[in-house]
Amino acid sequence: MKQILRNIFHSPRFVVGFVIFCIVLLLSFYPMVSIFTPMEIVGSGFHAPGTYVNIKSTIQSRSEELKYVGAAGLSNQFTAEELGKMQEWLVKYGGIDQAVVDEAAENDNAFLELWLSTYSDDVQYKATQAYKREMQKYNKQILRITATDSLEIGEGDSTITVKSNQFVNVKNISNRVTLPLGTDNFGADVLTKLTSAIGVSLKMGVMAGAIATAIGLTIGLLAGFLGGWVDNTLTFFTNLFTVIPSFVILVLIANSISQAGRSPAMVSLIIGITAWPWTARSVRSQVISLRNRDHVNLSKLSGHSTARIIVQDVLPYILSYVIMALILQIGSGILGEAQLSMLGLGPSTTTTATLGLMMNWANTFSAAQNGQWWAFVPVVLAITLISYSMNLMNTGLDQVFNPQLRD
């Protein structure tokens, strides 16, 4: 057992998949530390990722939180050296007489006027990029000092104006809220909602995968081990359901269950009972190759019951296959949930989100068409990462358990 585990963790694919999966799993614990609950409405509608300041509260604690930094002459904004460099530029590239520049340097306003009328970022001149960038920086600073726009914070009587040459230290604002992934159409924090949805979707995926694997395993075992008419019948149905797209069955069943009846557990169940055929198929072929092995025959001769033989002599040998199938089924269960939700047949819930529902909401509120990427790109990424990590772990395990696949 220890040896097997060591082999598994020596497969680079498995390790990469495992690490990705662990990271995603860790993310699902974020709602525990988040200041919001997953469905809590934080703002109104879509907001891009960023740090937001809640205005009213800011004003209430204005005396402490807002600090004004007045502009007190150019010498407060620039060092003497920097001013010298700017004067040098005016002479060298601006084509202004040294005397004119010297004169203007005596007066802040005259200098600003001269600079603004001569310099522009578009002026073409020969100098190193670093020099040009330095000049652009000074120019930006000057533009900020001379700008007359101002920002209004607050509403009604409590409006205050923060001039463009004034600063508010964001750190000192107590009601600052950082929304790393913005808010969705409901105005809920996407990060909290997403991470909680990852947890819910994973649970649904595990449930659907477990159901599908259990059904597939039972059918595969019975068909493969018993053979005869049992095998024929079960194989007929297995083949039937591999050809009829499971998607269709999924939609037909899900659509027939009323909105209220579609709990997350119910949706997992529906996904599980439509996803078993591939597992049944591969388990069956594994069991058939085992059926006539010596140890199985010995058990048969010893008069052990069929159930005992299956549990003791067959199951342990196909366990690795079953685990691999389960991993794949979990991944496709999550995809299945997303698919159903996109069609509007997902779980109906007001307390939790799922990855599929989040995508469905983003789609319904035209987030893609309006460029509100934060509402769905992280969700798509989460689904992809989960499914990808499952796939990597599966191929990694496959390489460990089927050495002939190694190349």
Residue whose entry in the numeric block shows the structure tokens 């790109």: 377
DSSP assigned state of 168: -
User: How many residues does the structure list for the chain?
Assistant: 407
Residue 34 region by backbone torsions, left for phi larger than 0, else alpha for psi between -120 and 50, else beta: beta
- Whole-Å CA distances, 145 to 74, 80, 84, 199, 379: 9, 17, 18, 50, 42
**The one among 15, 235, 380, 401 contacting other proteins by CB under 8 A:** 380
Nearer to other proteins, 123 or 244 (CB): 244
Residue 153: enclosing H or E segment and its boundaries? strand 150-153
Cβ of 54: how many Cβ atoms within 10 Å? 14
CB of 326 to other proteins, least distance (A): 17
Task: Please identify, using beta-carbon distances, which residue of 180 and 245 lies nearer to other proteins.
Answer: 245
CB nearer other proteins, residue 117 or residue 370: 370
Shortest separation between residue 365's beta carbon and other proteins, angstroms? 12
- The binding track of 119-158 with respect to other proteins, each residue x by CB under 8 A or -, is ----------------------------------------
CA 266 to chain CA centroid, nearest Å:
25
> Residues 217 to 276: which contact other proteins by CB under 8 A?
239-240, 242-253, 255-258
Distance CA 400, CA 398 (A): 5
| Cα torsion 315, 318, 323, 328: sign | negative
Size of the site for other proteins (CB under 8 A): 48
Q: Which residues pair with 179 in a beta bridge?
A: 50
* Rounded alpha-carbon distances, angstroms, from residue 9 to 17, 22, 109, 395, 399: 11, 14, 70, 13, 12
| Token code pair at residue 161 | 């104006």
**In this complex, which beta carbon is closest to other proteins, that of residue 195 or of residue 341?**
341
Q: Taking CA 115 as the corner, what is the angle to CA 114 and CA 117, rounded to the nearest 5 degrees?
A: 65
In this chain, which stretch among 124-132, 149-157, 296-304, 388-396 interacts with other proteins, using CB under 8 A?
388-396
In the stretch 312-341, what mask flags binding to other proteins with x, by CB under 8 A?
-------------------x---x--xx--
Interface with other proteins, residue 15, by CB under 8 A: no
162 within 8 A of 66, measured Cβ to Cβ: yes
Smallest separation, CB 44 to other proteins (Å): 22
Which is nearer to other proteins, 58 or 332 (by Cβ)?
A: 332
Nearest approach in angstroms of CB 2 to other proteins is 24
Binding mask 338-377 for other proteins (x = CB under 8 A): xx--xxxx-------------x--xx---xxxxxxx--xx
Q: Whose Cβ is closer to other proteins: residue 352's or residue 387's?
A: 387
Binding site for other proteins (CB under 8 A): 239-240, 242-253, 255-258, 331, 335, 338-339, 342-345, 359, 362-363, 367-373, 376-377, 379-380, 383-384, 387-388, 391, 395, 405, 407
